Amino acid sequence: MNKLLKTIAPVIVLAASIGVVFALSATKPAPEKKEETQRLISLYVDEVKADIITISVQTQGEVRPKTEIDLVPQVSGRIVAVSQSFAEGAEFDPGTTLVKIDATDYQLAVTRARARVAEAQVAVQRELANAKIKEDQWLDKRTSGEPTPFALNKPQVLEVEAKLLAAEADLKEAQLNVARTEISAPFHGRVREKSIGIGQYVSAGTRLGRVFSTDTVEIRLPLTDVQLAELNLPIGFTADAFNAPQVQFKARVGNREYFWSGHIVRINASVDPLTRLIYAIAEVEDPYGQGADSGVPMAVGMFVNAEIAGVTSQRALILPRLALRNADKVYVVNDQNRLEIRTVDVLSTSEDTVLVTKGVEVGEKVVTSTIPAAIDGMEVRAIRREQQS
């Protein structure tokens, strides 16, 4: 009997333990279930602003003289003097004699021409006297009828008067040739090239050098059709005193940036067939004098950056540059925190901002964050950058 109890007892204890475990499991309360919630994407947004603005565009170009000529003599001869102002880079005033040609032969021609004028004047006086004598003789004869021009010596008078005019013209030409032996330029300028020296014989038309005017310089500025539209200027535009767009130029010389002011005078009437660009011509007055910046001139040959200001103001909506996507799309978070994909009309873009005319309204929130897969109508969480800081 005892042996049987020893065998059954462990089985009874094990069964009782299993029963207790099942009883406890049955009475344990079920775990609380949590509802899964969608995690919203957080996006940085900025408000759309509006302002009255004047569009400006950025471009660049090379400074060129408005007037540049070859210095060429109109007479031949040996060079007897060259001015110190006629050296490469030297400055000269209007009318300054830069090169002088030997005038001896031309002065002798003046003397001969004066002698011919004196001879012609005497011939005129002689024929006039003859004409007076013939007229008196005709009147003394008291014959009927009218005298012929030859009878009164009129053709002879006309002939010598014509010869006098020709002699006077020869004298003026000889005097003009003497004046042409002193070669000058009719403007304030500088010498770009010099190609002659004292003692050299030159013929009429020989190139002595090249000079340019410093009164005004030109800058040829390339513009795309988009930039031209931003400035609201037509192809073939010609400026006057009231509508010339202002241009601010800058260039780095050494370790400093210098600035000069000018204006657009015209826009070419054709498109460059190679680059498909339209060129605007800007001018800067007195670039080596009053137009210089701290004594630094806007020198010919310098490469400058230019900012052209528009001539008309207009209302524009202002967005951060990060808000523009795919050239004309922006993402807007509406009052229900839903994403809207909008198309805008872009007026102008810069490094920091975008100017548009329609597609958004003032005060709306545009997204400046990157969105991997934007879906129109998706729910998002808008965060202002100032809130994050």
For the stretch 349-374, pLDDT in tens is 878 888 888 889 998 999 998 887 78
Residue 86: phi and psi, rounded to 5, are: -100, 70
What CATH number labels 213-309? 2.40.30
For the stretch 368-388, pLDDT in tens is 988 877 888 888 888 887 654
CATH 2.40.420.20 fits 44-51+316-388, yes or no: yes
Q: Identify the pLDDT of residue 140.
A: 72
Both structure tokens of 5: 């109890």
Which H or E element spans position 356? Answer: strand 353-358
d(CA 69, CA 299): 17
Nearest-CA neighbor of 192 among 77, 268, 89?
89
Q: Identify the pLDDT of residue 9.
A: 60
Nearest-CA neighbor of 69 among 181, 178, 186?
186
Answer whether residue 187 shows pLDDT above 70.
yes
Strands (E) located in 27-165: 41-47, 49-53, 56-65, 68-71, 77-82, 91-92, 99-101
Contact 219, 66 (CB under 8 A): no
Which pTM was predicted?
0.69
Contact 214, 190 (CB under 8 A): yes
Report, as an integer, the average pLDDT of 300-319: 87
Between 206 and 37, whose confidence is greater? 206
Answer whether residue 165 shows pLDDT above 90.
yes
